Amino acid sequence: MPLLRQMILEFAEFEKLAVSITEERLVRDGFGERPRFRALILEWEGKPAGHALYFPFYSSFEGEGIFLEDLYVREAFRGKGIGKAVMAEMARIAVREGVWALCWEVLDWNEPAIDFYRHLGASFMEDRKAVRLDGDALQKMAESGLPSR
């Protein structure tokens, strides 16, 4: 888990996003009573080369799917086909578990990633916006009143 967290921190730096996750929470959430995610540690000649992290999602229209939250290959290990091997492995997991889709998100400035996914035959859901309520806005919403009836 220290290694997984280290690679999560590297990935967040690459994506220019904040991280609050601790090793203790990753241990609890990955190996506790109700595991919240699964992860693959990628290796190249015995060295840790990146990670994949995923969890089940549910579409009310289509049923169970797998959401690939992270796919990270360390810089020194790029261009070796590792990303493609991981996507193939994730697709095998999805097919083996009988789910209808493998879904994920990509940042719109990450053109190499977008090209990579396009070449794999992935579809881009261009008509969807991701929305989030967190921090003070979530707290305020939770405290807002019920309607009059």
Per rule CB under 8 A, is residue 47 in the interface with its own copies? no
- HSE-CB of 9 using CA atoms within 13 angstroms: 11
Q: How far is residue 143's CA from residue 33's CA, in Å, rounded to a whole number? A: 30
For residue 64, give the amino acid letter.
Answer: E
Binding mask 14-43 for its own copies (x = CB under 8 A): ---xxxxx---xx--x------xx------
Q: How far is the CB of 31 from its own copies (least distance, A)?
A: 13
For its own copies, give the closer residue by CB, 56 or 75: 56
- Cβ nearer to its own copies, comparing 57 with 75: 57
Q: Which of residues 85-144 bind its own copies (CB under 8 A)?
A: 85, 87-88, 91-92, 94-95, 100-109, 114, 117, 120-134, 137-142, 144
Q: Which sign, positive or negative, has the C-alpha torsion 79, 40, 58, 16?
A: negative
HSE value, Cβ hemisphere, 13 Å, CA-based, for 137? 4
149 vs 147: CA distance, rounded Å:
6
Q: Give the whole-angstrom CA distance, residue 35 versus residue 106.
A: 25
Answer yes or no: 58 catalytic. Answer: no
Which of residues 63, 78, 97, 111 is near its own copies by CB under 8 A?
63
Residue 10 binds its own copies, judged by CB under 8 A: no
Q: Which is nearer to its own copies, 74 or 82 (CB)?
A: 82
Give me the active site residues, please.
117
